[in-house]
Amino acid sequence: MAVSMEEVARLCKARGFVYPSAEIYGGFRSTYDYGPLGVLMLRNVKEAWWRSMVQLRQEVVGLDAAILSSPRIWEASGHLANFTDPLVDCRRCKQRWRWDQLPGAEDGHPSCPNCGASDFTEARPFNLMFKTFVGPVEDEGSVAYLRPETAQGHFVNFANVLQTEHLRPPFGIAQMGKSFRNEITPGNFVFRTREFEQMELEYFVPPDEADRWLEYWCNERLEWYVRLGIPREMLRLRAHTPEELSHYSSGTFDVEFAFPWGWGELEGIANRTDYDLKAHAKASGQVLEFSDPATGERYVPYVIEPAAGATRTMMAFIIAAYSSDEVGGEPRTVLRLHPRLAPYQVAVLPLSKKDVLVPVAKEVLQLLQPVAMCDYDDTRSIGRRYRRQDEIGTPLCVTVDFATLQDRAVTIRDRDTTEQVRVPIDELVEAVSARLSW
């Protein structure tokens, strides 16, 4: 049976993945904090993305642009004018909603989720960018915006990157980090929040190759989710309708995931054409084009953009990995996370807290720490400790028992099969590395 969002949120809080933010003050409007396990897993999600997008490619380089930057960027990019959602007020209860997300909106019969009325004000555009002031004076001249996408940093640094990297299309600039949107209706746990993390590649291609690269990136990105453990049947590619397209896109496909409430977007893969480079060239007066030193050919590349959400994707990986079964007649919850994504890859568990086991358990921990993120737990019964590690998705437990003192061997327990094998400490690093099979 599919897991509910309530259960995912419960597990995330109970086990230290994600906490409601400012909970001691009653929470703060759909914002969340990432706890000890959440930071590990989110890093792993981003690391897996970086590895596949940058590390394993020769033609992609990284970037980390400022979150707060010139408002001229957002004026030129069209976000000031166009990055809006349709806002309506319910005339009966005065609540505000995003028009296209009201129940029944798709059939033309929307109703208020709060009071059920169908009497709304005319929809008006609401800009999603957070506005702030830079410096000590709060006037029009000091207005700045928190970036609503990591993209744009890639475009405004296009000439800088080309100058230092000697790249020629097709090539990419990758960036991950925080983005901010003043969403009208955040919700579904970390699916839609006002502060979130994105992982975005801007891939610059010759204009006549754009269609081919759009198809290439749709396939690549779909495969990435599958390789990291999401069953293929929980994913689909969906083309945007012309009405859905962003102001910069000539064609977009969403990678969608089967969330407990239905299909939802994990990533958008768009053909941004030469929209952004041309817009910034015009607004800044700078030349933003590729010039081929061999042929003298000059042109403005098209951009294919796979844009994924890191926080949203982390939740999808947890949902896809969530399962329940029975071990020895006892029910258990197990997160069958890919070892690359699991917060801990190994837990070192001395069978008892007795002093005689501690030195050898610590020795085992120190052996494994350089090759894997390790947890160390010597509290409670071994059964309860196994159950905790299953629930947080740790692929391997290494148990140190009293026999270890005689035979210098430990037990490796596999999360998915619960099978146990005895391995000499001298061969442990090799045995663990082979099982995690990066």
Binding region for ligand GAP (CB under 6 A)? 149, 151, 181, 183, 192-193, 196, 198, 200, 265-268, 305, 307-309, 311-312
Smaller CB separation from ligand GAP, 312 or 415: 312
Rounded to the nearest whole angstrom, what is the least distance from the CB of residue 107 to ligand GAP in the complex?
25
- The angle subtended at Cα 342 by Cα 336 and Cα 347, nearest 5°, is 95
Whole-number Å distance between alpha carbons of 394 and 412:
12
Minimum separation from the CB atom of position 60 to ligand GAP (A): 16
Q: Which is nearer to ligand GAP, 77 or 345 (CB)?
A: 77
Q: Is the Cβ of residue 79 or residue 413 nearer to ligand GAP in the bound state?
A: 79
C-beta of 311 vs 389, nearer to ligand GAP: 311
Q: How far is the CB of 7 from ligand GAP (least distance, A)?
A: 20
**What span, in angstroms and rounded, lies between the C-alpha atoms of 266 and 47?**
17
Q: Minimum Å distance from CB 187 to ligand GAP?
A: 10
Residue 300: CB minimum distance to ligand GAP, A: 19
What is the nearest approach in angstroms of ligand GAP to the Cβ of residue 389? 29
The residues pairing with 237 across neighbouring beta strands, listed in sequence order, are 255
**Cβ proximity to ligand GAP, 155 vs 290, nearer residue:** 155
Taking the complex as a whole, the smallest distance from the CB of residue 25 to ligand GAP amounts, in Å, to 22
- For ligand GAP, give the closer residue by CB, 268 or 343: 268
Is the Cβ of residue 308 or residue 321 nearer to ligand GAP in the bound state? Answer: 308
Contacts of 44 (CB under 8 A, 6+ apart): 340, 341, 342, 343
Minimum distance from CB of 149 to ligand GAP (Å)?
4
Q: Which is nearer to ligand GAP, 198 or 389 (CB)?
A: 198
Report the alpha-carbon distance of residue 59 to residue 174 in Å, rounded: 11
Cβ proximity of 35 and 23 under 8 Å: no
Tokens representing residue 188 in the block: 């579904």
**Minimum distance from CB of 430 to ligand GAP (Å)?**
38
Nearer to ligand GAP, 94 or 238 (CB): 238
Comparing CB distances to ligand GAP, the nearer of 71 and 309 is 309
Q: How far is the CB of 329 from ligand GAP (least distance, A)?
A: 41
What is the smallest separation between the CB atom of 311 and ligand GAP, expressed in angstroms? 6
Evaluate whether 246 touches 285 at the Cβ level (below 8 Å).
Answer: no
Nearer residue to ligand GAP within complex by CB, 198 or 345: 198
- Residue 363 to residue 357: CA distance in whole angstroms: 10
Output the residue with the shortest Cβ distance to ligand GAP. Answer: 309
